Chain A
Amino acid sequence: MSDKIISKSEIQEYIKALAEKFTVVAPMPRRDAPAEFVEINSGDEPILDGSQPMMPPKDYLLPRYETLLKVDRGPEGIKIESTIPEDKPRVILGVWLPDAQAIQVLDRVFLDKNFVDPYYAARRRNTLIAAVIPREPRWSWFCASVDDVEEWRENVDAIFYDLGDRYFVEPKSEKGQALVNASIMTEASNEDKVEKDKVWQRFLEQDILPFARKALYEQLEWDNPIWAEIAQKCLGCGICSYMCPSCSCFDIRDDMHDICIERYRCRDTCQFEDFTLMGAGHNPRSTQLPRSRQRLLHKFKYQHEQFGVVGCTGCGRCVELCPVNVDIRDILSRTCANDTTEPVA
Chain B
Amino acid sequence: MSEIENKIREEARKALESNEVALVIGWGEGSVPFKTTPVFVEKADDVGKLVWNEFCVNNLAVYLPKIARDRRVGIVAKPCDIRSIVTLIQEKQVKRENVFIIGLGCGGVVDATGPDASTPRQMCLVCKKREPAIYDVIIGEAVPLEESRANIVPELPEERQKYWVEQFSKCIRCYACRQICPACYCRLCFADRVEPRWTSRKATVDEAWMFHATRVMHLAGRCIQCGECERVCPVGVPVAELAREMAEVIKENYNYEAGDPKETAPVLGQFRENDVDPAQHIE
Contacts and interface: CB of A to CB of B under 8 A. Distances in A.
Contacts of B192: 272-274
B198 interface: no
Interface of A: 30-34, 55, 64-65, 139-140, 232-233, 235-239, 242-243, 251, 253, 255, 264, 266-269, 272-274, 319-321, 323-327, 329-330
Contacts of A237: 174-176, 178-180, 232
Nearest to B62: A235
13 contacts: A31-B166, A64-B203, A65-B203, A65-B204, A139-B114, A139-B115, A233-B40, A237-B179, A237-B180, A266-B200, A273-B192, A323-B176, A325-B36
Chain B binding surface, main DSSP class: loop
Interface string B235-271: 1101000000000000000000000000000000000
Contacts of A324: 37-38, 58
A34 B176 contact: no
Interface string B159-188: 000000010001011111011100000000
Contacts of A325: 30-31, 35-37
Nearest to A321: B234
A333 to B, nearest CB: 10
Interface residues of B, number: 37
B234 A34 contact: yes
A30 B58 CA distance: 26
A130 B236 CA distance: 27
Nearest 7 CB-CB pairings of A with B: A32-B236, A327-B31, A238-B174, A325-B37, A237-B176, A323-B232, A64-B203
A323 B121 CA distance: 13
Given A235-B176, A274-B192, 20 more contacts: A33-B236, A34-B234, A64-B173, A233-B37, A233-B40, A237-B176, A237-B179, A238-B174, A239-B176, A242-B172, A253-B200, A264-B202, A266-B200, A267-B172, A267-B201, A320-B114, A321-B234, A324-B58, A326-B37, A327-B30
Contacts of A242: 172-174, 234
A323 B174 CA distance: 12
Nearest to B228: A323
Nearest to A327: B31
A275 to B, nearest CB: 11
A267 B178 CA distance: 17
Contact of A329 (B31, B35, B176): B31
A323 B111 CA distance: 11
A195 to B, nearest CB: 25
Interface of B: 30-32, 35-40, 58, 62, 113-115, 166, 170, 172-176, 178-180, 192, 200-204, 228, 231-232, 234-236, 238
B235 A34 contact: yes
A266 B35 contact: no
Given A33-B236, A325-B31, A238 B203 contact: no
A47 to B, nearest CB: 16
Nearest to B235: A33
Given A31-B166, A33-B236, A232-B40, A266 B202 contact: yes
A323 B172 contact: no
Contacts of B37: 233, 324-326
A35 to B, nearest CB: 11
B235 to A, nearest CB: 4
Contacts of A329: 31
A29 to B, nearest CB: 12
Contacts of A30: 170
Contacts of B174: 237-239, 242-243, 269
Which of A34, A266, A329: most chain B Cβ within 10 A?
Answer: A266
B173 A238 contact: yes
B80 to A, nearest CB: 16
Contacts of B231: 323
Contacts of B36: 325
Contact of A267 (B200, B203, B228, B238): B203
Contacts of B38: 233, 324
A324 B179 CA distance: 11
A235 B63 CA distance: 9
A272 B176 CA distance: 11
Which of A233, A267, A273: most chain B Cβ within 10 A?
Answer: A233
Contact of B201 (A139, A236, A266, A327): A266
Contacts of A232: 40
A38 to B, nearest CB: 12
A330 B31 contact: yes
Contacts of B232: 237, 239, 321, 323
B173 A239 contact: no
B35 to A, nearest CB: 5
A323 B173 contact: no
A255 B234 contact: no
A288 B30 CA distance: 21
